[in-house]
Amino acid sequence: MHLVRLVVPGQHVHDEVHTEPHRHLSLPLAALIFSPQLSQADPTYLRAIAACGGALIGALIPGVLNVNLPVVKAGGAIGLFAIIFFLNPPQRVIDHQQIVRREWTFDTWQSFHIASIPWIDKPSRFPSSFAYTDPASRLQGSFTYDAEKKVYIERTVLASAPYYFFRPVRYQKNTLWLFDDSRNFTVKIPEGGGWAELSSEGLDGHFEKLQQLKIADATH
| CA 127, chain centre distance (Å) | 23
Residue 20 burial class via C-beta count within 10 angstroms: exposed 0-12, middle 13-18, buried 19 and up: exposed
Domain boundaries, the chain: 15-87, 117-217
Of 91, 96, 17, residue with least CA distance to 59: 17
- Mind listing the pLDDT tens digit for each residue in 38-78? 555 456 767 777 777 777 777 777 766 777 767 677 777 77
**Distance between CA 101 and CA 49 in Å, rounded?**
25
- Mind listing the pLDDT tens digit for each residue in 122-150? 999 999 999 988 777 777 889 999 999 99
What global pTM score does this model have?
0.57
Query: Does 217 or 123 have the greater pLDDT score?
Result: 123
- The pLDDT, as a whole number, for residue 54 is 73
- Mind listing the pLDDT tens digit for each residue in 18-37? 445 555 555 555 555 555 55
Of 160, 169, 70, residue with least CA distance to 119: 169
Helix, strand or coil, per DSSP, at residue 55: helix
DSSP 8-state symbol, 92: H
- Mind listing the pLDDT tens digit for each residue in 162-199? 788 999 999 999 999 999 999 999 999 999 999 999 99
